[in-house]
Each structure stands twice: as C-alpha cells, then as structure tokens.
Structure 1
Amino acid sequence: MQPKVQGGTLVHSTKQALSARILGGEFALGARLPSEARLCEEYGVSRTVIREAIASLRADGLVEPRRGAGVFVVKDTLDSGLPFTDVDYDRVSSVIEVLELRTAIEIESARIAATRRSAAQIERILEAADDVPRRARDGQATAEADFAFHLAIAEATGNPRFVEVLTMLGAAAIPRKALRPATEHRSLDSYLTLIDEEHRQIVDAILDQDPDAAGVAMRRHLEGAQKRYRKLLRRA
C-alpha cells in the first residue's frame, strides 16, 4: 500500500504522488491507473480528492480518462513551460501570484454564474458552502471544501474554460497551513467564520441573480485573502 499523502492540500499531494509514479515509470505509457476505490484506499483520501488529482494530471497531459474503461497514461514526461507547474505553495509570494490570477478570473465567474446558474447548480454551490463550516466544526481540514465551493461556482457559468483554469490551479491554491502564523492573534475559528461570511455573501448574490453584487462579493473575498497573505509576507 502507498503511504498516505502528507503536506500541502490533499489534492495537490495526491496529484504529486501519482505524477511521481507515472514519471518514474511505475505506470508506463498505455497503462491503466488503479480504480478510484483502490486509489482512495492507497492514499487514504476521498473520491473527490482522487477525481480532482486526476483532472490535474489530465491538464498536465499525463493521463486520459476513457469512458467505461478507466484512466490511462498517455505521456510519461512533463513539457517544460507547462502552466502552474512551478508554483511553490510554501512561498507566500507565489500564493499571492495565484490569488491575483484567481481574482481576475473568479470575479467574472461569479458574475456569469449569477445569471446562468440552474437549480441543480445552486444546490451544489449551497452544499459546498455548507461543507466548509461543517468540516471546521468536525476538526477536519477545510481547504478541499473551500476549493469545491469555488469550483461549483465556475461550473455554474456553463463555460468549461473557467473550470479548466481552476482545475489546473488545483486546491493547493487555498493553502490554509501557510496562514496559521497570520492568525495567531485571533482564533482559527474566528478566521473560518470570516471566510464563511464572505462565502455567504457570494452565495446570496448568486441566488438573487445579481451579477454586480456577486462580482463585488467575490472581489471582496479574494482581495481579502491577498491582504492576509501580504500581511504574512511583510512579517516574514
């Protein structure tokens, strides 16, 4: 059995572990990856984590899902210059770069979602928003749920390109661990309550089909994150 993934977010760590097995030759060209259930067991993560890790590997061009057959290795080397492969999520400055990009993309994502969302998509957004505080109450990591919330909004645009960009960035764009020093002066509970309030403002605007309010709420949320990381960077 493979060791359970550690460090960073679960999606990023799982993706890196699977990538290493592909690039190292354990899974050769044309090989089929183990089933979702097997990978969940090997890495000790949920199906959602495995699916997002596979989506990220697909964005790197390493694997290709085939309906009814599984996921197959289609490349065993990484091209130089692939987007986001050099992002260091342990460096605050690198995280800020990603947040700036996300801000530019996700403001419009929220605006479009407010006008196009379906009832089913609203349900997924609400479920994802509720999952963040639920995990916090249960003492679980919240980064994966936070990313799922933003991904649900991207899906509600009806434009798959928004989803593709967020998938390439991955859940590691929300590295909770790096913000711990910046929240020492207040409880982590207070910090997560703030995040929940910001999420609720975004959800309310999308429910009201108000694109302007949705864009403003998303800007406030992501620019607030940038301010928190810049504060941490100044301390460093």
Structure 2
Amino acid sequence: MCTRDSKAGKRVSATTSNKSTPHKTAGKTLVVTVRDALRAQIESGTYQPGNRLPSEAQLTREFDVSRTVVREAIAALRADRLVEPRQGAGIFVLDPPQSHDLPFQNIDFVRISSMIELLELRTAVEVEAAALAATRRSPSQEENIIDCYRDLGNLAKAGAPTSQADFALHLAIADATNNPRFREFLSMIGPSVIPRRALNEGTNERASQTYLKVIDAEHEQIVAAILEGNEAAARDAMRHHLKGSQSRYRALLRGSNTPG
C-alpha cells in the first residue's frame, strides 16, 4: 500500500523514573524527543524568556540520555532561536521569535501563471531527486513507489480524483533519495503543487481523462528509470514530465480550454 509518510528516523525506547521524561514516539530519535519536550516546556511557560535552562548534566539525568543527545537537542533549539548560550552562564530562553509569513503561502493557486512558476521550481528540485532515487532507493522504497504508481493508475481508471495520489507518488520518489530535505520541500508546498488540483480536476471528464493518460505515460517512464537504477534516464524522464506540464499550462495561459 502506498504510504504518505516518510519512514526516516530510528525507533527509540528508554525508561526513567523522572516524571518529566516524555514518551518516546515511534519514528522519533532521542534528539528529536528531547528537543520537542524542551520546546513544549518553553511554549507552555515552564521556562520563560530570560530563564536559564537546567545544566547539561541535569538534562542528561532528567531525560535519561547521553550528553551528546542533550547538546544536539539544544543546538536544534538554538537554530530555531528559542534559546541562546551565554558565556560562562548557561543556556537562556529567548523571547518568542516574531512570526513571519511562510514561503509559498501567498501563491494564488487559481492563477495558471502561479502553476507555471511552481512547475519551474519543482523542475529545478525534482529532476535531481529522480536521479538520486535511481541510485539510492532501497527495496522497500521501490515497493512504495510501485504501490503509489498503481494507486494513481487505479484512481484514474475509476474516474476518481487523482491529485492526492499524484502528490504521494512524488513524495515516494523524494523519500527514495534518502535525503529528507526533498520531502520537506514538497511537503512545505503541499498537495496543491499538483496543478490540476487547483484547476478543478474532473470538470470536463473527457479532457481530464485525455490529460491523465499523458501524465500516466510520463509517470511510467520516471518509475521505470528509477527501478532500473538508470540515473540519467530518471533525470530525463522527470524533466520531460515537468517541462511537459509547463508547456501544457502555458498553452492554457494562451487561451486553450484544456491542459491535455
């Protein structure tokens, strides 16, 4: 079955008598567990701006982890500007950072020009993702790519919406790079990165089916190249797919009635 979530992160288990120790969630590393627990304490006011965090030794005992885990968790909080070290004094909680608009949130997904802009950005990233997936994928990741591709095809044949399944396939390819930043990039944009989701897929069922057949053929080439471990072919197939989408939506922008 095609999965929508990445499988990264080792499972951890540890026991401690300290009541502050968070439950270890499957899929989370100890660093992430400690980081999230400290973040929650800061956000809840347990540690307020200006407060000093417990010493490294105290946190090591509190969470029943190594000093390395504590240091990496603190480093992650520093990167988020939640805490800062002060020479000879310790780690102190900062005022909450000012909120800023997240990237990609101001895109008007109804405008075809926005679709083209995103397709250009996706091309710059996903072409290389396909090439990396061809050389780095694991057997389980191959299976997930195949499952996602089959799910997409079955939905298309049934006349059901396919944009979510299309997004899942691209996420599966991103996961197969074994570089989590590729999934993070796609997830940050979200499922609306699939243009037809924003353009009312299925309004014209005949045109939609014609379009989906073209997309299916392109996806088949991408999947086949990845499974064969052909880096160059995977790169070319993904480029052809995304460049083709750009061309189709530019035709729409010029006044064509359908993207097919």
Q: TM exceeds 0.5? A: yes
Q: Is the 8 A contact 1:129 1:149 kept in 2?
A: yes
Letter in 1 for 2:243: E
Please report how far the alpha carbon of residue 97 of structure 1 lies from its aligned counterpart in structure 2 after TM superposition: 1.0
Matched residue of 1:235: which SS? Answer: coil
After TM superposition, the score normalised by the length of structure 1 is: 0.65
Instruction: Name the one with the larger helix percent.
Output: 1
> What do the CA deviations read for 1:198-229 (whole angstroms, capped 9, x no partner)?
00100110111010000000000001111111
The one of 186, 192, 203 equivalent to 2:212 is: 192
Indicate yes or no: 2:259 matched with 1:229: no
Quick check: which has more Rg, 1 or 2? 2
C-alpha displacement of 1:185: 11
- Distance (Å, rounded) in 1 between the aligned partners of 2:159 and 2:205: 20
Residue number among 150, 161, 166 corresponding to 2:186 in the alignment: 166
Gaps of 5+ in 2: 7-23, 27-35, 44-96
**Bigger mean CA deviation after superposition, 83-92 or 109-118:** 83-92
User: Residue 67 of structure 1: which of 3, 7, 25 is its match?
Assistant: 25
Which structure exhibits the higher relative contact order, with contacts defined as CA atoms closer than 8 Å and separated by 6 or more residues?
1
Q: Secondary structure at the match of 1:187?
A: helix
Q: Number of paired residues?
A: 176
CA contact (8 A) 1:135 1:141 kept: yes
Q: How many Å apart are 1:145 and its aligned residue?
A: 0.2
Q: Give identity over the alignment, percent.
A: 50
Deviations 1:174-193 (A, max 9, x none): 13155569x96963222111
**TM (normalized to structure 2)?**
0.59
Letter in 2 for 1:97: E
Structure 1 residues 95, 157: closer, same or farther in 2, change over 3 A?
same
**Among candidates 213, 217, 236, match of residue 233 of structure 2:** 213
Which range is displaced more, 220-229 or 135-144? 135-144
Rounded to whole Å, the distance in 1 between the matches of 2:138 and 2:175 is 10
Which residue in the other structure is 2:152 paired with? 132
Structure 2 counterpart of 1:91:
111
* Matches of 2:106 and 2:207, distance apart in 1: 32
Structure 1 spans left out of the alignment, 5+ residues: 1-47, 53-65
